[in-house]
Structure formats: C-alpha cells, structure tokens
A and B are shown apart, each in its own frame.
Chain A
Amino acid sequence: MPDFSILITHGVFHLFAALITLCSLMVVVSKHPVKSAVFLVVDLFLLAGLYASLDSHFVAAIQVLVYAGAILVLFLFVIMLLNLQPEELKGLKFSAVEAGTLVISLIGFLITIVTAFKGDQTGLGDGSLDPAAIETAGGNTYVVAMKLLTNYIWPFELASILILMAIVAAIVIAKKDQKKPAAQ
C-alpha cells in the first residue's frame, strides 16, 4: 500500500507545517511574553517532530532536550524574574517601506532557494548515507557521533571554548551589580 503511506507522510508534514507556521506567528504577535515563550516551546517540539520524520533522531532529541528543555526555561525564568507585563502592540509601526522590504525579501528568499535546489542534487555531498545505510552503519546517533568526533574535531573543540566564553561572559554581565553593595 505505497500510495497510502505517501498520503499519510504528506498529510503529517502539512499538518505539522501548518501548526509550526501558526505557532511561529503567535510567537511573534502575542502580547504577553510568557504566551510567546509557551508557543515557542510548542513550535520547537513540532520542529523536533519534523526532524524525526526526516530520520534525524538525534537532532530531534537534542532539539527537545536543549532547546525546549533548557533554553526556553531560561527565557521563562527571565520573563518571570523581570516580571514583564503584556506589551502594548499599538506601537508596531508598519511603515510601507519596512513591510514592503520584508515581503519582498521573503519572496526573494523563496525563489532563490527553491530555484537553487530545483535541479539535480549531485555535487552537494557524497550521498552515501541514506537512512538504510545509516541503519546498517549503527544508527543515526552513532553516525552523527563519528562524524562529529572525526571530521569535525576542530569545530567540536572550538565549541567548548565558545561555551567557556559564554559561561564567563554571562556571569560577568549578570553578576556585575551584585558586587557593589559589598564595596560600599
């Protein structure tokens, strides 16, 4: 029943795509920051579903674990910490130039990218790792791990330096005022 499965795959994709677009829209236009954050969580979860449907299991898990489970928690914490109130949206200035630029850039993006990839896909990679090949090679997680720790070893080590710098920077910036009362 191949037709049936294609129908379901497409249906699931379009459902997810519609929900993701809707959630993204709500993230951008919600008045209350907490509302935006919750919609963003749902959005990220749905995107993880799309990654899973693209056989990128590890990325899907990381998406939920790090993005939805950690980064957005930080956003929520800060929103609650600062006790942000609903924002007046009346100041959304849609000057014709800005809105027009946005729409035109959107259309430009679509046309550029879709035409760029419309043709044959050769020359973009060895194409050796379709899902079946990944399965025989030891699963998606394993293949990603090997790729990361052999081909991408320098970016991997640099990522640790990036994280180190982020730790230092965040603490320096956020803890700055805490020292003042002690000095006085």
Chain B
Amino acid sequence: MNPYIPVLIVLIFGLTLGAILSALAAFLGPRNPRPEKSDPYECGVPKVTNANEKMSVKFYLTAILFILFDIETIFLYLWAKAFPQLGWFGVIEIMVFMVILVAGYIYVLKRGALEWD
C-alpha cells in the first residue's frame, strides 16, 4: 500500500476537524455583538494604539538564522543516515562542513545578533 494513503486520510480528517471546530463556534452559542465587546481586548482599558506597530528586527534576525541552521541540520541528518557506510571519510567531510558553519556562528555571536535586550 502506498505509504501516503494514511497521510491523505489523516490530513483530510485533521482539516475537517479544524474546520468543524472553527465553524461550531459560529453556529452554536448565542450571538449578540456590542461595540465594547468587539473591541480588541486590552484588560478592560480603552485601546491605546493600533495593533499595526512595527515589530523589532530581532524576530527577523532569529528567523533568518533559523533557516540557515535548519538547512545545516538537514545535511547533518543526511550524513547521519549514511554514517555507517561512510565511516571516517564521512566524519571528516562533515567536520569540514561544520567548521565553516561554526565560523559563521561565531561571527553571529561576535556581531551580537543574538543579543535580546
């Protein structure tokens, strides 16, 4: 059996369940909207500023470093899978790969891109 048939079944089930839960909220339950109620909730006080403020660039830097390290992890997994056959050759190969990336990591640390203040 194709191993992706269960994936499809579960995917359809999950999407349906999510959609049902999302729709249940709209159909069950009372509905009497008032302006105060539909204001953004800020612990009761009237809202001060809009939600559309610019966010810190830190989040962006985190995301960018995440991508690059994520790819490194993927390559590490590939190597781990082939490790028994490659032996020392593979270890040296991945060491070179890692040393280059650790250089990048040290640069990131030195530039203070990981400092959250």
Residues on A lying within 8 angstroms of B by beta carbon are: 49, 52-53, 58, 62, 65-66, 69-71, 73-74, 77-78, 80-83, 141-142, 144-146, 148-150, 153, 156-157, 159-161, 163-164, 166-168, 170-171, 174-175, 178
**Among residues 67 to 94 in chain B, which have CB atoms less than 8 Å away from a CB atom of chain A?**
67-68, 70-72, 74-75, 78-79, 81-82, 85-86, 90, 93
A141 and B81 within 8 A (CB): yes
> Do B4 and A53 have beta carbons less than 8 Å apart?
yes
Query: What are 18 sample pairs from A and B whose C-beta atoms fall under 8 A apart?
Result: A65-B74, A70-B63, A74-B60, A74-B67, A77-B59, A77-B63, A81-B55, A82-B54, A83-B53, A145-B79, A149-B79, A161-B100, A163-B71, A168-B107, A170-B64, A171-B108, A174-B57, A175-B111
Contact A171 B113 (CB under 8 A): yes
Please indicate the chain A residues that have their CB under 8 angstroms from the CB of B79 in the complex. Answer: 145, 149
- Chain B residues near A161: list those with CB within 8 A: 100
Apart from the given pairs A166-B68, A167-B65, A167-B68, 17 other A-B contacts in the complex at a CB distance below 8 Å:
A65-B70, A66-B71, A66-B74, A70-B66, A74-B64, A77-B63, A83-B54, A146-B86, A148-B78, A149-B79, A159-B75, A160-B100, A163-B71, A168-B104, A171-B111, A171-B113, A175-B57
Q: A71-B67, A81-B59, A167-B65 are in contact. Are A149 and B86 (CB under 8 A)?
A: yes
Q: How many A-B residue pairs have CB under 8 A?
A: 110
A83-B52, A149-B90, A168-B107 in contact; A174/B101 too (CB < 8 A)? no
Residues of B within 8 A of A73 (CB): 63, 66
Q: Using C-beta atoms within 8 Å of the partner chain, give the interface range for chain B.
A: 35 or more
Given contacts A171-B61, A171-B107, A174-B64, contact A164 B78 (CB under 8 A): no
> B103 in the interface, Cβ–Cβ < 8 Å?
yes
Which 7 pairs across A and B sit closest by C-beta, in order of nearness? A145-B82, A145-B78, A167-B104, A164-B104, A160-B100, A74-B63, A70-B67
| Cα(A157)–Cα(B66), bound, Å | 20
Give the docked Cα–Cα distance between A174 and B101 (Å). 20
- Which chain A residues lie closer than 8 Å to B70 at the CB level? 65-66, 69-70
Docked CA distance A77–B61 (Å): 10
- Of all chain A residues, the one with the shortest Cβ separation from B4 is A52
Partner of B60, one of A53, A78, A144: A78
Q: CA separation between A81 and B64, bound complex, in Å?
A: 13
- Decide if A146 touches B85 in the complex (CB within 8 Å): yes
Provide the residues of chain B in CB contact with A142, threshold 8 Å.
81-82
Partner of B55, one of A80, A145, A170: A80
Nearest-neighbour CB distance to chain B for A14, whole angstroms, equals 15
